Copies of this chain bind each other. A is one copy, B any other.
Amino acid sequence: MSIKASKILETFPNPTTDRDYVIHMRMPEFTCLCPKTGQPDFATLFLEYIPDQLCVELKSLKGYIWSYRDTGAFHEAVTNQILTDLVTACQPRFMRLRAEFNVRGGIYTDVVVEHRAPHWTPPTPVHLP
């Protein structure tokens, strides 16, 4: 894949819009800069969503993640920003983003953010034994 750092998130049509199905993505290579000290910060991102009409395209997602490499960003703010951008791009029925940041000062921090579409109702989960 020839990929570039880019804020543009591309999408493709959801091949099965008549089902509420789930796409999980794990991205262990997120890095940005601490806005106070300029030092690199590292995190693993966990994305899971139920697509509506559009799916997130893998290659552009990698470029989007890459675009934070030289950006100063607080943990709480950057996690909210990425979710907002992903929601804007693909308008999912539901989306959750978890960012697990590497330890700083002996403290481990994760941030979890969710979006759900206004008129969408989650299907009752089936718990199998």
Contact = CB atoms under 8 A, between A and B. Distances in A.
B76 A55 contact: yes
Q: How would you classify the secondary structure of chain A's contact residues: helix, strand, loop or mixed?
A: mixed
A39 B23 contact: no
Nearest to A24: B110
B22 A62 contact: no
Name, among A15, A21, A27, A125, the residue most crowded by chain B CB atoms within 10 Å (CB to CB).
A21
A129 B28 contact: no
Given A21-B111, A112-B24, A126-B94, A105 B40 contact: no
Nearest to A79: B21
Interface residues of A, number: 66
Given A37-B2, A80-B16, A129-B96, A105 B24 contact: no
Contact of A25 (B28, B37, B98, B108): B108
Given A39-B66, A80-B15, A111-B22, A27 B125 contact: no
B24 A40 contact: no
A19 B113 contact: yes
Interface of A: 1-4, 14-16, 19-29, 31, 37-40, 42, 48, 50-51, 55, 58-59, 61-62, 66, 69, 74-77, 79-80, 94, 96, 98, 102-116, 122-129
